[in-house]
Amino acid sequence: MKITGMIICLLATIQSLFAQVNINMFLAGRPPANLSEWANRREVLNFIMNGSQSDQLVVKIKTEIKTLDGTVIGSVNLNTAKSFTPLPGVSTILGSLDVMPLENMIFLGKYQAALAKTGKLPADNYMLCLQLVRLPDYVPASNLVCKNFYLAAYQLPILMMPANEQKLYSKIAQSAITFRWTPVVPNPTTTVAYRLQVFEVLENQQDVQALRSNQPLLDKNIVGATQFIWQPQLSMMPYENEIFDSTKTKIKDKKFIWIIQTLDNLGMPLNQSDGNGESRSEPRIFFVTDRESSIGK
C-alpha cells in the first residue's frame, strides 16, 4: 500500500515537473533606490516566462525581497496579486510593475517604515527571489530564481564655497572665484560630471527667478573633481557709478546664484526620482562687492 502511494506521489511530481514554467530574471545590480522608480525604467527588471508545452496554467508571481542572510523583508500578497496564464510555447516578458507590484507588497517593520517615509529601503545588499505558483493552492509552478542587488540612494552634492550669501571682494573675484562642493554619495560606479552654472541676479529679480530665466555666465561640466576655479573675465564694476570714497561709500553689490547639476556618464541627471527630478542641488547666493572691509560682516 505504501509503495502504491509512493508511486502515485512520484507520478504526480513528475506530472507537476512537466507542467512547470521555466522562468528567468534580469535585474540591474544597482537599481534606483526608489522602488517605485523601477517601473519607469524597463532596463531595471525583466522577468521572462516560458510557458509549458503541455499545460496552460494560471499562475501568480511569488515575489520576495530578502536580506543576504535569507530573511524575508518583503513579499507580495498572493491573495490580491495579479494572475497570469503563460501561453504554451510562448515567452512572456514582464516588467517591474507586474513582478514587484508595490501596491501588493507587504514589508516588515523598519523596512515598511523606511519605505513609507522615503520610498526607499535602507542602504544595503538585498536579494530578489521570484517563483511562479499555481492557483488555487499556490503550489510552485516554476523554478526559483534569485538575484542580488545593492540599494543606495544618491545624496546630491552640497554647495560649500562660496558660502551662502558670502561677500567676495571684487578685486579678487574679478580674476578668480573658487567653487567647492561635496561629492555625490555613494561614489557612483560610472563617471559623473558636475555641471556648474552661475547666473547673475539682475535688478528686480528674485534669486530663483534669475536661475530659472537667465542665461548662465558659466556653464561647465567638471569631471572627477569637486573644485573649480573660475576666471570670470567680467568687469565686476557695479552698473551704477560709485564714488570711491573710503569713508562714505554706499556699497553696491553684484549678486550671483550658483548651482550644481549632477549628470551620469550619458549626460542624464543622475538622480531623476528625487526632488526636482533634474539632479540639481540647492542653489547658493554670493555677492561681489567693491568694499573689502564689508567681507564677513
In the region spanning residues 244 to 273, those forming contacts with other proteins, defined by CB under 8 A, are 244-246, 259, 261, 268-269, 272-273
Q: Please choose, out of 8-16, 50-58, 59-67, 102-110, the segment that lies near other proteins by the rule CB under 8 A.
A: 102-110
Q: Is 277 in the site for other proteins (CB under 8 A)?
A: yes
Please return the burial class of 296, using the count of CB atoms within 10 Å of its CB with bins 0-12, 13-18 and 19+: exposed
In the range 128-187, which residues lie near other proteins by CB under 8 A?
A: 150, 152-156, 158, 160-161, 163, 169, 171-172, 174-176, 178, 180, 182-183, 185-187
Contact call for residues 91 and 49 (beta carbons, < 8 A): yes
Nearest to 147 by CA among 258, 23, 266: 23
For residue 145, the minimal CB distance to other proteins (Å) is 23
Q: Is 289 in the site for other proteins (CB under 8 A)?
A: no
Contact call for residues 289 and 270 (beta carbons, < 8 A): no
Query: Helix, strand or coil for residue 292?
Result: helix
| CA 99 distance to own-chain centroid | 20
Q: How many residues bind other proteins (CB under 8 A)?
A: 101
Copy the grid coordinates of residue 136.
488555487
For residue 71, the minimal CB distance to other proteins (Å) is 17
Q: Is 276 in the site for other proteins (CB under 8 A)?
A: yes
The beta-carbon contacts of 13-20 under 8 Å, at least 24 apart in sequence, are 16/139, 18/52, 18/54, 18/55, 19/52, 19/54, 19/55, 19/57, 19/141, 20/52, 20/140, 20/141, 20/142, 20/143
Q: Is 88 in the site for other proteins (CB under 8 A)?
A: no
Q: Over the range 181-191, which residues count as b (16 or more CB within 10 Å of their CB) and which as e?
A: bebbeeebeee
In the range 214-233, which residues lie near other proteins by CB under 8 A?
A: 214-219, 225-227, 229, 231, 233
For residue 143, the minimal CB distance to other proteins (Å) is 28
Interface pick for other proteins out of 119, 129, 145, 222 (rule CB under 8 A): 119
Query: Helix, strand or coil for residue 17?
Result: helix
For residue 131, the minimal CB distance to other proteins (Å) is 22
Query: Helix, strand or coil for residue 21?
Result: strand
Interface pick for other proteins out of 88, 209, 222, 252 (rule CB under 8 A): 209
Copy the grid coordinates of residue 215.
542665461
Q: Is 237 in the site for other proteins (CB under 8 A)?
A: yes
Interface pick for other proteins out of 44, 76, 99, 105 (rule CB under 8 A): 105
For residue 103, the minimal CB distance to other proteins (Å) is 4
For residue 130, the minimal CB distance to other proteins (Å) is 19
For residue 208, the minimal CB distance to other proteins (Å) is 5
For residue 154, the minimal CB distance to other proteins (Å) is 7
Give whichever of 92 and 182 is closer to other proteins, judged by the CB atom: 182
> Beta-carbon neighbour count of residue 91 at 10 Å?
12
Copy the grid coordinates of residue 65.
525581497
Q: Is 197 in the site for other proteins (CB under 8 A)?
A: yes
